[in-house]
Structure 1
């Protein structure tokens, strides 16, 4: 494995780490990118890590706000995941988004950084996700082509059935659970060749399936708690990331003792 001195994570809530809070800190999220940085730091003492991701951001916002900062920092490794928030909006054009995304990747690769891209999950396996499946598949094809053209690594999430288990997801049905983030960090580490303990493909324990009434109650809770507020933000042009700064805006030394609680 080549030496990694600086790692930057770019993106939206997926990369920011919702909903994987640090123990005792409900509003401070860890997430797969922080976990990945911890794995990298074991083999690369002195690693500097920044996470510029902000929840709710669209492709254009990520490209305009985060990519220039990343280019200036000239990191060794960049992970970039963007487009999920665009896909869930009516009228999203995956072809146009791919043009914007490709230019961002070109600029990042121009620094000499190793760039890791992510396809989206196959939403067929997720409750309420089938309506965007066609757009997501088209966008994924563009992402794979961009990765091939620009010489990037790809974390291909589309075929991964391990993440179809509901325990991989938070109750909001949009973000990974802590266990989902743990497995994602292991997966990405494998793609970039970082040795780790554990296997993201580890079988899930047997799951007791909920009955019909319980599932309907969960649907009602989800709609009231997550769907209605989301619709409200869309109707008023607001985003969950409005006014938020990145949680780790500067590449700082990663303290494994502090960042990696035992569990």
Structure 2
């Protein structure tokens, strides 16, 4: 990988994770990408901070990133771009791994074709994070594994710097997570920023100081978590249940039926075949690889 002394423009694309939900600052959200940007400089360690633009929007799906965020990102002429999306796709009745793969392929190709270093990540499944019953959680987990498999493959295809955050101790460490149990808290966002900074530094692509792992504000208390679940959390679940719940119940019934017959492996094989078909359907491209 070629060495660069610093970045000029960093653009972040994605959903609520990159928007910064869970890391409130000054009446808004900050998040891992903004924290990472403070550790990146233009023109070397003594240079000015990079121009940072956060285009991520809560609730965004892969279609939103392709159709709305990508054009704005290209206008910023980034030499560093992060793309983390897919969880919201898994929470919709219209989930289609082939469509997700095709959209991400277009986004990655467009950014790397302009010379941007690409940052990507795989993510934990939402059912596990929310503590859903197993019959409901397993179908969501299967969908998230499919998205992660696509992201892994495309990250390799386009020479992205890929961060594995779909497992590990941080998933079960409550100190890392906000009251909603789905988004990182400040400590979790700092951990993501620190790990991305390490990936960049290993390749000579981060000349500024690493973000501090220690939060500036205390984490949510138990009463705060319970209050969120009783108020905002109820609305969050209700909005998604309107779209997903009927299909999720059908998926859960199918899950239970396969378990009763001892044929659960067929569901995993079906999901793996869908991922393989989605990747096979992509047009072969020549890409420059790691920048």
Q: TM-score, structure 1 length as denominator?
A: 0.74
Pair 1:38 & 2:46 matched: no
Give the conservation status (yes or no) of the 8 Å contact 1:122–1:159. Answer: no
The one-character-per-residue Cα deviations of 1:157-186 (angstroms, maximum 9, x if unpaired) are 123322320111111111110111111110
Question: How much has 1:18 moved relative to structure 2?
Answer: 0.9
Question: How much has 1:122 moved relative to structure 2?
Answer: 5.0
User: Aligned partners of 2:150, 2:104: CA distance in 1, in Å?
Assistant: 9
The one-character-per-residue Cα deviations of 1:203-251 (angstroms, maximum 9, x if unpaired) are xxxxxxxxxxx8xx999755432443124434777xxxxxxxxxxxxxx
Pair 78,219 (structure 1): closer, same or farther in 2 beyond 3 Å: closer
The one-character-per-residue Cα deviations of 1:105-128 (angstroms, maximum 9, x if unpaired) are 111111111111111125576342
Pair 1:176 & 2:163 matched: no
Q: TM-score, structure 2 length as denominator?
A: 0.68
User: Aligned partners of 1:134, 1:236: CA distance in 2, in Å?
Assistant: 21
Residue 141 of structure 1 aligns with which residue? 149
Give the conservation status (yes or no) of the 8 Å contact 1:8–1:79. Answer: yes
User: Aligned partners of 2:242, 2:130: CA distance in 1, in Å?
Assistant: 26
Residue 190 of structure 1 aligns with which residue? 198
- The structure with the largest helix share of the pair is 2
Give the conservation status (yes or no) of the 8 Å contact 2:36–2:196. Answer: yes
Residue 96 of structure 1 aligns with which residue? 99
Q: Choose which of 7, 11, 19 in structure 2 pairs with 1:4.
A: 7
Pair 1:225 & 2:231 matched: yes
The one-character-per-residue Cα deviations of 1:45-75 (angstroms, maximum 9, x if unpaired) are 2421111111111110121111011122221
Residue 116 of structure 1 aligns with which residue? 119
Question: How much has 1:191 moved relative to structure 2?
Answer: 1.4
Give the total of aligned pairs: 221
5+ residue gaps, structure 2: 215-221, 244-291
Pair 219,20 (structure 1): closer, same or farther in 2 beyond 3 Å: closer
Give the conservation status (yes or no) of the 8 Å contact 1:80–1:116. Answer: yes
Q: CA RMSD in A?
A: 2.8
Residue 245 of structure 1 aligns with which residue? none
